[in-house]
Amino acid sequence: MKKIRKAVIPVAGLGTRFLPATKAIPKEMLTIVDRPTIQYIVEEVVASGIEEVILITSAGKSAIENHFDYDFQLDTVLKEKNKARLREELNNISNLIDVVSVRQKEPLGLGHAIWMARNVVGDEPFLVLLGDDLVRSRVPCCKQMIKLYNRVGEAIVAIQRVPRDQTYQYGIVEGEETDIDNTYRVKRMVEKPAPGTSDSDMAIIGRYLLMPEIFDLLGRTTPGYGGEIQLTDALLALSKKRGMYAYEFEGRRYDAGDKLGYLKAIVDFALDHPALGEPFREHLEQICNGCSPADR
């Protein structure tokens, strides 16, 4: 079985749900406490033992590439000013992992974005993490998926249960239980099902472990929902060709590309922060204990 060494992170979307904040700043660069969203995602990849990140970018997203690059000018200034700790912190970011970028010239959909990685990924299984999907967990979500892959040897989609009246917002998996905890064999998949058309509450989140055959299938996929090349259509074809598992991961997922999801992520990550957690908790308690807005 081939080792999982590469992770594709598509960040070429337009981020319209977060306008006007994302007019000039990529949504993946919006800050969660003290780091941009994308840094948490790359840190998850690193903590899962991955060797190379492939960013799928577009015009206007160069801030993301710069964030993981070495900044000679800044480093020189910090050195002159004896800011050793800050220098080390910044250099740690640029040394996190090898990052390769591929341009998606037009936003033709998530499926198309992943297809853009075909030459860099080559003939090996790989991970996909969406650049605005955060997971807070004891064991990194990708690491949990790699552990399962080492057992089943097939593609895996991470899922979470969602209220049934919200399934129309997600890619939904229908599957049957296996004898492995929290793991289902995928039977059917549907992108944003109309209410009442699927019994399942298993929603696909932004973590996938895929086989290289997906590239061929994506290349043959015609535009689906919203006129975009949908990943879900190619996933369904892959599940039929080779088999696929849906895995209910341990942890909590945040859609940081959505305003409410972003706010929830900030609160939960701030409460976990070693220095800020306690004073922030006190602040929240004050609010919850009925201080009037005027007291704040």
Task: Give the binding site for ligand UTP (CB under 6 A).
Answer: 10-18, 56, 104, 107-110, 112-113, 130-132, 257
Minimal distance in Å, beta carbon 56 to ligand UTP? 5
Nearer to ligand UTP, 30 or 236 (CB): 30
Q: Which is nearer to ligand UTP, 52 or 75 (CB)?
A: 52
Residue number with CB closer to ligand UTP (104 or 200): 104
Question: In the bound complex, what is the minimum distance in angstroms from residue 161's beta carbon to ligand UTP?
Answer: 20
Q: Cβ neighbours of residue 159 under 8 Å, at least 6 residues apart?
A: 173, 184, 202, 203, 204, 205, 246, 247, 248, 249
User: From residue 205, how far is each of 32, 35, 108, 159, 254 by CA, in Å?
Assistant: 19, 22, 20, 6, 9
Select 46 or 108, whichever has its Cβ closest to ligand UTP. 108
Query: Closer CB to ligand UTP, residue 152 or residue 253?
Result: 253
Cβ proximity of 141 and 251 under 8 Å: yes
What is d(CA 87, CA 58) in angstroms, rounded to the nearest whole number? 29
Specify the residue, 53 or 130, whose C-beta has the smaller distance to ligand UTP. 130
Q: Cβ of residue 16: shortest distance to ligand UTP, in angstroms?
A: 3
Q: Is 88 exposed, middle or buried (0-12, 13-18, 19+ CB in 10 A)?
A: exposed
* Cβ neighbours of residue 278 closer than 8 Å, sequence gap 6 or more: none
Nearer to ligand UTP among residue 10 and residue 125 (C-beta): 10
Q: Cβ 154 to ligand UTP, closest distance in Å?
A: 23
Distance between CA atoms of 279 and 54, rounded to whole angstroms?
38
d(CA 102, CA 6): 14
Residue with CB nearest ligand UTP? 13
User: Minimum CB separation from ligand UTP for residue 138, in Å?
Assistant: 24
CB of 126 to ligand UTP, least distance (A): 15
Rank residues 56 and 190 by Cβ distance to ligand UTP and give the closer one: 56
- Note the helical H segments in the chain: 37-47, 62-67, 72-80, 84-94, 110-115, 118-121, 141-152, 213-220, 231-242, 259-272, 277-288
In angstroms, give the least distance from the CB of 205 to ligand UTP: 11
Could you give the CA distance from residue 135 to residue 114 in angstroms, rounded to a whole number? 20
SS3 state at 208 = strand
Helix, coil or strand: residue 248: strand
List CB contacts of 272: < 8 A, sequence separation 6 or more. 136
Smallest gap from Cβ 106 to ligand UTP, in A, equals 7
